[in-house]
């Protein structure tokens, strides 16, 4: 997960940050744990998590489109 | 990270968190190298998790810390000339009574149990009289009484905090919160008693973070007013 985030955003996530996020997301029922696979502990996004993620990404997309349009107008 | 190091870092988190995540967190830590900065970050997140849990489960600490913080701020604001203001006297009485209520489970007094005191009106009056007397002595009697009393209270809270085990009913975090409040009162005590040379010490100035910020804001405001 850490490597994936580093590839995608270029930011390295520390173990404290990662588990802080996992704890919060699981507490808010946005992710749920799956059975352990060879020392790996996978998590799956829940239906509620999917809805929230879709909404957040739509917002970001909306803001990015407006921002880019205004930048082009300069 | 070695298994021992992973166990140590995991133990920084609260027991409820460990019950859920300890196994996988330790496995995860053991599978990678952790820098000193990352270890510090883990400690920070563990502290945040402990604080979150404490503030949810031990709400009585919040008014206590608030009362002491507000009283210290008011004391500082009023200044030494107004240190014996009646309003301040009542503020400190409230702080001491709240401290007694909160620290009662921490520092077990042999005969004075605050819960039994509250249940029996006679004991309540006696208890209130006792605490008000203590406050009176601290504020108006011997010049060394306030600093000595705060130092003694502070040391006893820290000792209690160090003696606590995670499995015991009183957690070290609760004691740490109380200790920070005691530190505020220690700073105030020294300020009140006019030990200004000690008050200027950088370590003691840490006990007044809010006051320092307020001071900066008022200085900035004065500068703005002057420039206008």
As for the ipTM of the complex, it is: 0.80
pLDDT category at B168 given cuts 50, 70, 90 is very low
Q: Among B27-31, B46-50, B153-157, which is the least confidently predicted range?
A: B153-157
Phi (first) and psi of residue A44, to 5 degrees:
-125, 140
Q: What is the mean pLDDT of residues A15-44?
A: 87
A27 touches chain B (CB under 8 A): no
Mean pLDDT value of segment B52-71: 58
Residue A3: closest C-alpha in chain B: B32
Both tokens of A28, joined, read 């808010």
Tell if the CB–CB gap between A15 and B21 is shorter than 8 Å: no
Task: Give the gap in angstroms from C-alpha A74 to the nearest C-alpha of chain B.
Answer: 36
Strand-pair category, A31-33 with A43-45: antiparallel
Q: How far is residue B111's CA from residue B93's CA, in Å, rounded to a whole number?
A: 21
3-state secondary structure of A40: strand
Closest chain A C-alpha to B225 CA, distance in angstroms: 38
Of B17, B27, B42, the CB nearest to A16: B42
Q: Is B13 exposed, middle or buried (0-12, 13-18, 19+ CB in 10 A)?
A: buried
Backbone angles phi, psi at B82, to 5 degrees: -105, 15
Mean residue pLDDT across chain B = 60
**Strand, helix or coil at A43?**
strand
Contact residues, B window 48-107, toward A, CB-based 8 Å cutoff: 48-49
Q: Are B172 and B164 in contact (CB under 8 A)?
A: yes
pLDDT at B111: 42
Q: What is the DSSP string of A2-37?
A: HHHHHHHHS-PPPHHHHHHHHHHHHHTTSEEE---B
Per DSSP, the three-state class of A45 is strand
Give how far Cα B221 sits from Cα of B15, B78, B79, Å. 47, 19, 19
Q: Is a pLDDT exceeding 90 seen at residue B150?
A: no
Compute chain B's Rg from CA coordinates.
21
Q: Do A36 and B29 touch (CB under 8 A)?
A: no
Report helix, strand or coil for B218. helix
What contacts B91, CB < 8 A, 6 or more positions away? B67, B70, B71, B74, B75
How many angstroms separate the CA atoms of B220 and B170, rounded? 43
Q: In the structure, what pLDDT confidence band is assigned to residue B118 with cuts at 50, 70 and 90?
A: low
Interface test with A, best of B37, B38, B50 (most A CBs within 10 A): B38
Residue B38 has its nearest CB partner, among A16, A36, A39, at A16
Q: What is the mean pLDDT of chain A?
A: 88
Binary contact (B41, A22; C-beta < 8 A): no
Query: CB of B61 within 8 A of CB of B41?
Result: no
User: Which burial class, exposed, middle or buried, applies to B47 when counting CB atoms under 10 A from its CB (0-12, 13-18, 19+)?
Assistant: middle
Q: Are B64 and B181 in contact (CB under 8 A)?
A: yes
CA distances from A61 to A58, A66, A68 (A): 5, 9, 10
Residue B126 CB partners (closer than 8 Å, separation 6+): B117
Q: Does B1 touch chain A (CB under 8 A)?
A: no
Cβ-nearest to B42 among A15, A22, A36: A15
In this model, does residue B175 exceed pLDDT 80?
A: no
A16–B45 CB contact, under 8 Å: yes
């Amino acid at each position: 997960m850490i490597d994936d985030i580093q590839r995608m955003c270029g930011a390295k996530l520390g173990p404290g940050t990662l588990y802080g996020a996992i704890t919060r997301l699981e507490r808010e029922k946005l992710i749920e744990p799956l059975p352990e696979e060879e020392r790996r502990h996978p998590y799956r996004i829940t239906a509620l998590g999917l809805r929230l993620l879709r909404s957040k990404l739509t917002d970001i997309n909306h803001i990015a489109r407006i921002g880019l349009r205004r930048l082009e107008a300069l | 990270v070695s298994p021992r190091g992973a166990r140590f870092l995991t133990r920084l988190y609260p027991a409820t968190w460990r019950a859920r995540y300890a196994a996988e967190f330790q496995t995860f830590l053991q599978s990678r190298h952790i820098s000193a900065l990352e270890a510090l970050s883990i400690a920070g997140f563990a502290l945040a998790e402990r604080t979150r849990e404490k503030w949810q489960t031990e709400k009585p600490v919040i008014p206590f810390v608030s009362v002491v913080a507000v009283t210290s701020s008011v004391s500082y604001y009023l200044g030494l000339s107004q240190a014996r203001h009646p309003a301040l006297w009542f503020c400190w009485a409230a702080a001491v009574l709240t401290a007694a209520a909160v620290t009662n489970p921490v520092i077990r007094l042999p005969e004075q149990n605050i819960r039994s005191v509250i249940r029996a009106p006679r004991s309540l009056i006696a208890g209130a009289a006792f605490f008000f007397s203590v406050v009176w002595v601290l504020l108006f009697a011997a010049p060394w009484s306030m600093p000595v009393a705060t130092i003694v209270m502070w040391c006893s809270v820290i000792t209690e905090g160090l003696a606590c085990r995670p499995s015991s009913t009183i957690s070290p975090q609760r004691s740490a919160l109380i200790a920070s409040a005691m530190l505020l009162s220690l700073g105030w005590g020294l300020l009140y008693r006019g030990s200004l040379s000690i008050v200027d010490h950088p370590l003691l100035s840490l006990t007044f973070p809010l006051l320092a910020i307020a001071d900066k804001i008022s200085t900035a405001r004065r500068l703005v007013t002057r420039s206008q």
